Amino acid sequence: MSFTLRKDKHGVVVVGVDGQLIVGNRQELKQKVLDALEGGGRKFVVDFAKTGYIDSSGLGVLVSLSKKIREQGGDLRLCGLNEDLQTLFELTKLDTLFAITKTSEEALAAF
Amino acid sequence: MTTPLHLDVRRRAGGGETETELLLDVPSDLKYVGPAVELIVGRLPSGPLSPRRIRFNFRTALAEALANAIAYGNHHDPARVVHVLVQVGHDVVRLHVTDEGDGFDPDGIPDPTLPDRLELEDGRGLFVLRRLVDHVAFNAKGNSVCLTLLAG
């Protein structure tokens, strides 16, 4: 499991989640995104195309990061959720809190 | 690298069918949640659950229950462990997660989807658990949960 951060040509920070986002590694993701926010990044996309599962702690860290980024005038969007992960966001009503697109290209184009 | 995670796999015959049991004690450190889940999933007999239900429902439910037991049950106490027992029958999987804490009242957890709770970081674990599996049952003390996934 690991997280990769890259900036696209418009300065959008794209975060890839490889494996799982759960209680054991959420702090690592939080720190990496907060470092990028500190470094001036304001537009973030978290890509779950390579993600197996997310637990409630993983959902929680996304909620908290989204809030922090919005407070700095930025935005955090999600993409690449498979059907099961999409259902997880819907049943927790977090689909109402995040802009969610199918692909990272769509998420980037929407900024 | 040595690991404190040692899975015990047993086969039991009873009631006309053979049941597989997987037993694992997990130290009270959240870093073991992911490895413990993968260790159990890797040895889970194929049978009652579809690969998709194992990949998502079983994995996520086990991770949730373990994290709750470590954090809220055992309070990260290194002297305590979480006991996991997975019983795999012909048409059902039962997942028992027991901590060494004082228990809690599962009915006292507020709904995390209420508007004033939606943006809180924590408090979704039990809510998610109840929607991932077919049945959730706590013992009277509240320190042991049995999660039932029916075949499918």
Q: Are B15 and B26 in contact (CB under 8 A)?
A: no
Please name the CATH architecture into which domain A2-109 falls.
2-Layer Sandwich (3.30)
Residue B1 has pLDDT above 60, yes or no: no
Residue B117: Cβ-neighbour burial (10 angstroms; 0-12, 13-18, 19+) = middle
Q: Per-residue pLDDT tens for A75-97?
A: 999 999 999 999 999 999 999 99
pLDDT number for residue B16: 67
Are residues B118 and A23, on separate chains, in Cβ contact within 8 Å? Answer: no
Three-state helix/strand/coil letters over chain A: CEEEEEECCCCCEEEEEEEEECCCCHHHHHHHHHHHHHCCCCEEEEECCCEEEECHHHHHHHHHHHHHHHHCCCEEEEECCCHHHHHHHHHCCHHHCCEEECCHHHHHHCC
Cβ-nearest to B67 among A55, A61, A97:
A55
- Mean pLDDT across B74-102: 96
Q: Per-residue pLDDT tens for B18-60?
A: 799 999 999 999 999 999 999 999 999 988 999 999 999 999 9
pLDDT number for residue A28: 95
Sheet holding B17-27, edge to edge: B8-14, B17-27, B81-88, B92-98, B144-150, B135-138
Chain A contact for B110 (CB, 8 A cutoff): no
On average, the pLDDT of chain B sits at 93
Are residues A52 and B59, on separate chains, in Cβ contact within 8 Å? Answer: yes
Strands A51-54 and A13-21: parallel
* pLDDT greater at residue A111 or residue B63: B63
**Distance in angstroms (rounded) separating the CA atoms of residues B9 and B44:** 9
pLDDT number for residue B130: 94
Chain A contact for B3 (CB, 8 A cutoff): no
- Band (pLDDT 50/70/90 cuts) for residue A72 is very high
CATH level 3 topology of B8-150? Heat Shock Protein 90 (3.30.565)
> What is the residue extent of each domain of chain A?
2-109
φ, ψ of residue A82 in degrees (nearest 5): -75, 180
pLDDT number for residue B96: 98
Find, in chain B, the residue whose alpha carbon is nearest to that of A94: B118
> What is the residue extent of each domain of chain B?
8-150
Residue A107 has pLDDT above 80, yes or no: yes
Residues 62-91, chain B, touching A (beta carbon < 8 A)? 63-64, 67, 71
Rounded to an integer, what is the distance from CA B51 to the centroid of its chain? 18
- Mean pLDDT across B64-71: 95
**Distance in angstroms (rounded) separating the CA atoms of residues A31 and A17:** 14
Chain B contact for A95 (CB, 8 A cutoff): no
In terms of Cα–Cα distance, which of B65, B44, B37, B36 is closest to B146?
Answer: B65
Q: Per-residue pLDDT tens for A36-55?
A: 999 999 999 999 999 989 99
Q: State the ipTM, two decimals.
A: 0.88
φ, ψ of residue B8 in degrees (nearest 5): -110, 125
Chain B contact for A23 (CB, 8 A cutoff): yes
Q: Per-residue pLDDT tens for B96-124?
A: 999 999 998 888 899 999 999 999 999 99
